[in-house]
Structure formats: structure tokens, C-alpha cells
Structure 1
């Protein structure tokens, strides 16, 4: 049994539907509930829920940024060339323009964050099992 299974039903906001539109950029299953999609404010806000072991590919935000507000479960965030950061509810991550990174659930836990994103994402290669399976809290 995975930890924090209550996250699958949404902690603060609903977990949303299966994230099929971006499934090719994830290892495992994620869910997305769009919270703000107003082109006049030029920023997207979404509640992203990850099943245990799910993570997104390495990616870069061009001409923008990403802010992650962790709301449930346990997960990871890593920038290229740096150690991975263990994430828990209340953690905040700021990813600056042009920084290659990834984020996702711990192997044994559901994980949820609000993603506030501006700019254009460039999706890259998946995070290797060698990196992911060797993460230690």
C-alpha cells in the first residue's frame, strides 16, 4: 500500500482527469486539474497529482518560470547538475527561466503540487531509472 493515498482524491483542489495530453512526457500516471487558463494573464495554474513512482521528463521553461507549491504526499525535484530535493507538503520550489529540471512522486507515495507556469516548455528525455531508483531521503 502506498503512502498518502488520500492525495489521489485531491488535498485542496480536485486531482482532475488522467493527464493524457501530456502522458508522453511522464513515466507513470499523472492527473491534471487546470485551475487558471486565462490567456490575458499569461500564466497557467494547475493541480498536478502523481501516482507513486510517477515523474515527468526533464524539461526547460523558456521565456518564463515555474513555481511548485507542494500540497500533498512526498516527491522529488531536481535541477541538472544538482542533488535531488525531497519534497513534502508546504515546500515551495522556484524554477527559473532556462533551467533543466524534473519533478515527481517518491516511489512509495502519492504526490501533489500546484504548478504555476509561464513561458514555453521544452520537453526532453525521461529521467533514467538509474537516477530515480537511487534517490535517498
Structure 2
């Protein structure tokens, strides 16, 4: 949804957005649900997604040309930069990832994890 509205305020209803279910596809291990909250052309191509990782689910190793911000909204997870140790993240933590850093993240083996992802589309 792009929030271009002549009235000044736009509302994106929860039921109007499609939730992508990624079950063991090329980018993820385990069950991950992605709700793209905003994929607009405004705000310098900002992308906002709500992600839910089931117990033990995680991303594949990945790298992006833009920075990423993860806001952990519930549960516990892990994040790891290539060549570094795994870091525990929990509800309320914010993870900032620089461009061109190889990393992965996801839920721990004992907890699911939900986060908001901010990036540029």
C-alpha cells in the first residue's frame, strides 16, 4: 500500500493485506509468516513488514545493500553476523544491521519471535 491520499490520512486495514507464508523456502528454515505493512514509493522507498517466526524458524544467511532495522515485538530470537557469535534478542530489543553485512536471524529453539522489519524496498 502506498499512502498517497488527497485527504491527508490513509488507513491500511489488517484484513486488506496479504500475509505471505514462507514454509521452508529458499530464504527461510521453518515456518515464517510475513505481513507487508507498507511497500510504498513514498518515504524514500521504505518497506515495513511484520514477521512471525515459529519455534526454531530462521532466515538463511543473507546480505543487503541497504541498512535494516529489526524491532523485536515478542518472544526471543537469535541474530548472527558472519564470523561473530550468536546474539540473543528479546522483546523490546532493536537490531540495526549495516549494509553489506552477511547475517541471519530468527526464533530460538525454545521460543517463537515476532519482529517489525524496516528497510528500503
TM-score normalised according to structure 2 size: 0.79
Residue 80 of structure 1: aligned partner: 82
More helix by share: 1
| Preserved CA contact (<8 Å) 1:61 1:118 | no
The 4+ residue runs of structure 1 with deviation greater than 6 A are none
Residues 93-114 of structure 1: CA deviation (Å, up to 9, x unaligned) = 1001100000000012110010
1:55 matched to 2:50? The reply is no
| Preserved CA contact (<8 Å) 1:60 1:97 | yes
Match of 2:48 among 45, 48, 51: 45
Which ranges in structure 1 are unaligned for 5 or more consecutive residues? 1-12, 120-137
Residue 31 of structure 1: aligned partner: 33
Residue 72 of structure 2: aligned partner: 70
Aligned partners of 1:111, 1:95: CA distance in 2, in Å?
18
Output the aligned Cα RMSD: 2.2
TM-score normalised according to structure 1 size: 0.70
Report which of the two structures shows the higher radius of gyration computed on alpha carbons: 2
